[in-house]
A = this chain, B = another copy of it.
């Protein structure tokens, strides 16, 4: 039956993250620090928005690009863009998918700094294009001009940046952003920016790439409601780009999904800016607690400035992040993700998600402490 499936699709492996999640499912009493989904329930005013919309029969097709009111609301976040320059997507995932499908072709190269999210490479490989990695673990998880120049060649079509980053939680400095902007303009590349964690930043304010008006002809920007408003299941993300780009992407979007779910769009309309402030407040406490604990245990880690992950160095304890995570899972019942599973395959690291209440994090850290003692 697979005879009908293209080689490129057959070659996609099931992600290591999914595999580890699955293993964790089968361990009784496990604490799952594997999740990319917050433990908070969706806010009541959002759920009421859904019920209201259902009662009022807002259950028909919306315009392909999304409800006008929602596009307008989203555009208010971006100084240089208006409502017509927004497409509401089925989560940020659909956004990435249609951008790659529309812009990346056979033989193209896409530069991605690593460690990075696992969802990009399969989409790029399906187009018979390749990922050119920039390994940030060699530069203190900051991007340099030299790294960008080295990564470039004549096949380079685009650069894909996740800011804040998953799995490290790093937020780009203005200097790094300037480097990237200059690099993109120098070689006339497409800059794809995934800012899905933009509203979860702990120190200072977040600067979106959208502030560079000079990038408008070279950039597509992605964000969504999943992480910032605990709305993962609603599947609402969005693309922001120049109108000429939007018109093209709208065709791919329309033929790929028609539109995002109507009720979910009304839910997003009911979401408030304050929602994420509450989340950030709670997540900061967890971040601070985890860093304190990691310091106490003498584990090195990438200091997380946003998102809800911490990337922890376990080289001292194991030469294999997979073996480390498996032993931690089966013996001490704490599930984490091996660095090996992310783009870049950073085998010296594991990712700990703090999408769980403090008490559970505390219990997990106790178990990790016992595990490390055994390992020493």
Contacts and interface: CB of A to CB of B under 8 A. Distances in A.
Contacts of A263: 50, 233-234, 261, 263-264
Contacts of A41: 57, 59
Nearest to A50: B54
Given A1-B217, A4-B157, A57 B37 contact: no
A59 B233 contact: yes
Nearest to A11: B251
Interface residues of A, number: 64
B244 A2 contact: yes
Interface stretch (A99-107, A291-299, A366-374): A99-107
Interface stretch (A119-127, A197-205, A332-340, A342-350): A119-127
Contacts of A244: 1-2
A60 interface: yes
A102 B235 contact: no
Given A55-B47, A232-B60, A251 B122 contact: yes
A233 B6 contact: no
Q: Which of A2, A4, A54 has the most CB of B within 10 A?
A: A4
A336 to B, nearest CB: 19
Given A62-B233, A251-B14, A261-B235, A93 B50 contact: no
Nearest to A38: B60
A37 B62 CA distance: 11
A242 B5 CA distance: 13
Interface string A86-101: 0000110110010001
A54 B57 contact: no
A262 interface: yes
A234 B262 contact: yes
A141 B58 CA distance: 37
Given A51-B50, A90-B257, A119-B255, A61 B9 contact: no
Interface in A222-266: 230-235, 241-242, 244-245, 248, 251-252, 255-264
Contact of A245 (B1, B57, B97, B231): B1
B102 A9 contact: yes
A4 B190 contact: yes
A144 interface: no
A185 interface: no
A12 B103 contact: no
A155 interface: no
A248 B5 CA distance: 7
A90 B58 CA distance: 17
Ranked nearest first, the 4 interchain pairs of A and B with the lowest CB-CB distance are A233-B262, A1-B244, A47-B54, A261-B261
12 contacts: A1-B241, A1-B242, A2-B248, A4-B218, A9-B102, A37-B61, A51-B55, A91-B257, A93-B255, A235-B258, A235-B262, A261-B261
Given A4-B245, A41-B59, A261-B261, 16 more contacts: A1-B217, A2-B245, A4-B157, A4-B190, A6-B102, A14-B251, A42-B57, A50-B51, A51-B55, A59-B234, A61-B233, A94-B256, A233-B261, A233-B263, A263-B264, A264-B264
